[in-house]
Amino acid sequence: MSQTAKTFAFIIGALLVIALITYVATTMKSESVLAPAGPIATSTVDAQKNAETGIESPNEKADLPQGYTMAEVAAHGTAADCWTAIRGNVFDLTSFVSKHPGGKGIVRVCGKDGTSIFNSEHGGSQMQESTLASFQIGVVKN
């Protein structure tokens, strides 16, 4: 192998390492900011409109966080009455189901813990995190 080929291979390898380090650093930063260990901190505003979607939020209770059991969440498992639990928080997505940009796939989270589905579909997206937070009605209690 000529010296030029070796130099070229070294430069390509170095660029790949830099790209990988940048990707990992960006991913880790996003996860630490967007995947809190506890409940999402949100302020509650009566009939808050979500800026991205223009959809009315159900956050009309000033006494957040109210606790709900997973059995209570499970009682709201249809497109017409859709609650979900994500990272220990409870969300009423009923008014959002028909307006969800991804279509009716959102129904997969109705009535259950939708953490893994939400994270796999939207993890790391500030807009989706913000939209979700506007529908919080409480936290999961034991």
Q: 62-120, pLDDT tens digit by residue?
A: 555 689 999 999 999 999 999 999 999 999 999 999 999 988 889 999 999 999 999 99
Q: Distance between CA atoms of 121 and 142, rounded to whole angstroms?
A: 27
Residue spans per domain, the chain: 35-140
Q: Decide the pairing of beta strands 77-78 and 81-86.
A: antiparallel
pLDDT reported for residue 48: 45
Helix (H/G/I), strand (E/B), else coil: 121: helix
Tell me the residue type at 41. Answer: A
What was the pLDDT predicted at 14?
Answer: 66
Amino acid in the structure at residue 73: V
Q: How many angstroms separate the most distant Cα atoms in the chain?
A: 72
Nearest to 100 by CA among 85, 124, 115, 122: 122
pLDDT of residue 133: 93
Average pLDDT value for residue range 130-139: 94
Superfamily classification of domain 35-140: Cytochrome b5-like heme/steroid binding domain (3.10.120.10)
Query: Quick one: pLDDT at residue 64?
Result: 58
Q: Are 108 and 97 in contact (CB under 8 A)?
A: no
The per-residue pLDDT for 25 is 59
Q: What is the pLDDT of residues 52-68, one digit of tens each?
A: 445 555 554 455 568 99
What pairs with residue 67 in β-bridges? 139
Q: How far apart are CA 136 and CA 84, in angstroms?
A: 9
